[in-house]
Amino acid sequence: MDSATSDRAALQATADNGLKIVVVGGFGVGKTTMVRSVSEIRPLNTEETMTRAGEAVDHLDGVQSKTSTTVAFDFGRITLDARSVLYLFGAPGQERFWFLWDRLFSGTLGAVVLVDTRRLADSWYAIDRLEHHGTPFIVACNDFGGPLHTEQQIREALALSDDVPLVECDARDRSSSKYVLITLVEHLYALSRGTAGSASTTARPETAPEKTPEPTP
């Protein structure tokens, strides 16, 4: 983790505009990995080793190889410009920690719903809670090498309206994760100006990957 952050530009001590963003989604979709890959500071995380005691309450279908899990939240930061920064909060994915979500959503400008297209149903709760709070969001499909789905199939499965941006990403890749956040900020700006419209799936840009070591699923 040191090598992934030490070569980034030094941060200013203060910023005029601090914008809170939440990354939500099902268990094991890559929320911690996204915050780690894009944060300019050493990320704060609350990962704990998974134990046999949790097997009775956590649904491990599709993520049997996962060995650690977030039990509170992840936190990172990324600079937008000289006056504005994004504060990133990664929400825990297990159902038993969902009670923390409403508190995390307080003061949130917008959200990224990170999904694993092999387990689309795991994202329903995140979308439902964001809509309940009236929090703007975009959907980012993390690449786990599963079967390909068309944009229409994903929108239908998640009951997404056409004005919700839907993008592809690799949460391990800093440039890809940064692109997701840029898409969200642009969406929020469009909403503030009343110009948000139909949004189509956009592949991540073809740039050299900047992957963090030992990514979690």
The DSSP bridge pattern shows strands 68-70 and 74-79 to be unpaired
Reported as a single tens digit per residue, the pLDDT across 50-66 is 444 445 444 545 444 44
Reported as a single tens digit per residue, the pLDDT across 92-118 is 755 555 567 677 777 889 999 999 998
Q: Select the more confidently predicted residue: 103 or 182.
A: 182
Q: Do 28 and 167 contact (CB within 8 A), yes or no?
A: no
Residue range 167-196: mean pLDDT, rounded: 93
pLDDT of residue 215: 45
Name the band, by pLDDT with cuts 50, 70 and 90, for residue 210: low
One-letter identity of residue 140: A
One-letter identity of residue 173: D
What are the tokens at 63? 């993520």
User: Is a pLDDT exceeding 60 seen at residue 11?
Assistant: no
The mean pLDDT value of the chain amounts to 75
Half-sphere exposure of 149 (CA within 13 A, CB side): 24
pLDDT of residue 213: 46
Name the band, by pLDDT with cuts 50, 70 and 90, for residue 71: very low
Instruction: Give start and end residues of each alpha helix (H) in 78-207.
Output: 101-105, 124-133, 151-158, 174-193
How far is CA 102 from each of CA 14, 24, 99, 139, 172, rounded to the nearest angstrom? 27, 12, 7, 19, 27
Question: 3-state DSSP helix/strand/coil percent for the chain, to nearest 5?
Answer: 35, 25, 45
User: Is a pLDDT exceeding 60 seen at residue 26?
Assistant: yes
Under 8 Å CB-to-CB from 59, ≥6 apart: which residues?
27, 95
Number of C-beta neighbours around residue 85 at 10 A: 20
pLDDT of residue 170: 95
Name the band, by pLDDT with cuts 50, 70 and 90, for residue 46: low
Under 8 Å CB-to-CB from 143, ≥6 apart: which residues?
168, 169, 170
Looking at mean pLDDT, say which of 70-74, 109-113, 197-201, 205-209 comes out highest.
109-113
User: Is a pLDDT exceeding 50 seen at residue 157?
Assistant: yes
Name the band, by pLDDT with cuts 50, 70 and 90, for residue 197: low
Helix (H) / strand (E) element for 166: namely strand 166-169
pLDDT of residue 172: 94
Beta bridge partners of 137: 111
Residue range 28-48: mean pLDDT, rounded: 80
Under 8 Å CB-to-CB from 214, ≥6 apart: which residues?
none
